[in-house]
Structure formats: structure tokens, C-alpha cells
Structure 1
Amino acid sequence: MRLAGPLRIVVFMLVLALLWIVGSLVTGQGSPFNRLHLMLSGPQELPTAGEVLMSSVKNNVGRGLNIALVNGVTGELMDTKSFFDMWAGDSGINELLKFLRPVYEGTLVFVASYDDPATKMNSEAKKLFSELGSKAVQVLSFRDSWVFVGAKGIDNKSPFEQHVRNNKNTNKYEGWPEAVEIEGCIPHKVL
């Protein structure tokens, strides 16, 4: 498959980013502004304390939305969901809603799409992602590339979001747009 090479690069970048987060929190060597550092690409690997929790190698990421919840104060990984299938049936959207509804204030929500983030996305799911700070969720379409980091209780829209539309005239990989990536720091005061 032609996506294997780019997907490996994306996975590698996410592993480095999340190891950076955990390392800076464990060693206490964050910036003077006490920030969480992050880099996110989709689809992703999600490590904690050197252990990879989600990856294509472990066969626990998949079509739809891949999501991790991180404590916004400690940086501790709280929960992951291998994938919410946004293409087939209603189980993906129903499970997504059950997963996002109880998210409490101060929780960081890391999202990376793979294949299709939007076909089964309903208004309640869009509202939940909007409350986490997403702008792009309102315009997601079939096979768009989307990565997002938001937080419950965020005052403004999250600056940690990238969205590339699926367009047969501009797609980089046959039927898919290019992979997207975000990079930056999340100040604690934003939460």
C-alpha cells in the first residue's frame, strides 16, 4: 500500500512528541512557563513512560478517529480508544459519544483521524468537539485528514488543529489527502 511509508513517518513523529511530554514532566525540566510540549500527527502511536500504547504495529489503531485522554495538569495518560469507526454502522458514533460525554475540565483530548473522520459524525459529536475547542469539526468530510488537541473547559478555540480536505484534484496519496501534523506547547493557564 502506498500509504505505508508516510504512515510510518507520522507514527514516529508522534512517538517522539509524546515521549517529549512524558520526559519533561518526569524530569521537571519544562519551560519556565510550566508548559506541556506536544507534537501530533495522524494516525498515531501513543506512548507513556516509554511504552507504546497505540500503534499500527500493535494493531490497535484503525479507521475513523483515534483518541487519547491526557491529564492536563500531570501529563498522565488517562485513557485511549483504539478507534471510533466513522464509516460503518452506528456503533462508532455511539461509542464516541459515550467516550466524550464524561470528559471533565482540564482533560486534554488528542485526536487523529485515519481514512474517514466524518461520515457518521452527528451534531452532538460536533458540539462536543466544538466545546473542546475544535473549529474544523463543523466542516469535516469523507476521508479528510484531521488532527486536533483540545481541552474540556478551554476558553477559546484550540490553536492545535490541522485539517486537510479530501479533494481528488489535490490529494497527495491517490484517494487520500496528505497527512497533517501539529506541533507546539500547551500552557497550563489555557486550561
Structure 2
Amino acid sequence: MTGVTSGPDSPQRFSQADLGNALAQCAGYAAAGPWGSPATLFALVPTAVLAQQAPELIDPNDDSALSPVVQEAGDADLETLLTTVSWPDAVVGCAVVTEITVLPPDAESTLDEAFEPLLSDPEAADAAARDAAHTHPDRRQARLIAGVLRSGQRVALLSLRARDGEDASVESDLRTHPTLAPNVLDALASTF
């Protein structure tokens, strides 16, 4: 993200709730697109800074503390993008929305059976575990919405894809758990 700088009067302290609200905006952005979309990276910028420097980017009635700004990723995969991105000072956080496969807790033995014989080859073990997850009969597609702030706050949310016959509103329910997506949160934090 270029062209946005932080002013001396722009506060740099944001709460966990501010981060959660920004992630809900990211989830809404992703929900407007089709399932099967690539991961989307967002810069989290104080709304007050955007109002001063790029007012055309925000709604004048927007009272949120943070505004997500979509980042162009080109053809880069998420891992490559997160190892090469750098942020200007005005960016106080970042977030990503990516699709994942979610399995019920009792599916662990299925995954173990798939990758344990291949542990000497990490790439083969990873591919086998991924294949077992994608073919498991109780799998669910979901969007993972994860974000971090420079100041250390972290939040990860999950939105399940509605199954056939299920009310589509299930996709707007955002769930969280303290142990959700620690590796993704670590990768996001490492961009600062």
C-alpha cells in the first residue's frame, strides 16, 4: 500500500473489538464474491487517516476505527505474498481471508492414517493429509478471516459454507476460538 502516511494526531491504539470489526468487514467483502476465490490480503488503516488522505475511499458516515484496504496480490500465492509484503507506517494491521477445509474433531485419526506412513517425506505427508481432508465425508468448506495489529492483538474468525438444504445465513455467522489458526496469525504478524 502506498501513498498513505500517519499523521501526528492519528492515534495508534486500537482494541481487540476494533480488530474484530475490521475482520467482519473483510468477511463481508469476501462473502460478496464466489466460493473458490483466491486468498485476499488487506491492509488495516485507521479510518481517520484515510478520511484525511484518501476521502474517496471511505463512506463519510463510516465510524469504524479501522478500514480494510484490499491489496493486489497478482499471481502470488499466500505464502509467498506474506514473506515479501512490507507495510508503511500508516498500516496498523493486516488481515487475510482464505478458504480452508474444516473437519470434525473425530477426523484426526483419518488424517493420522493418511500422513504418518509418509513422515520421512514432509511434502508427501502434507499432500496426503490434504487429500484425506478434502475427501473426508464430514468435511466443510469455510472461510478463515485472520488479522493482527502491530500492537499485538490477534483475532481469527471462521465462516462455514452453507451445505445443500441449509439456510444460507449460516455463512454470516462468524465463529472464533482462542486456538484458531495460530500459524496464519504468526505469518501475518511477521509482516511487521
TM-score (norm: length of structure 2): 0.35
Give the strand-richer structure, 1 or 2. 1
Pair member with larger Rg: 2
Give the helix-richer structure, 1 or 2. 2
TM-score (norm: length of structure 1): 0.35
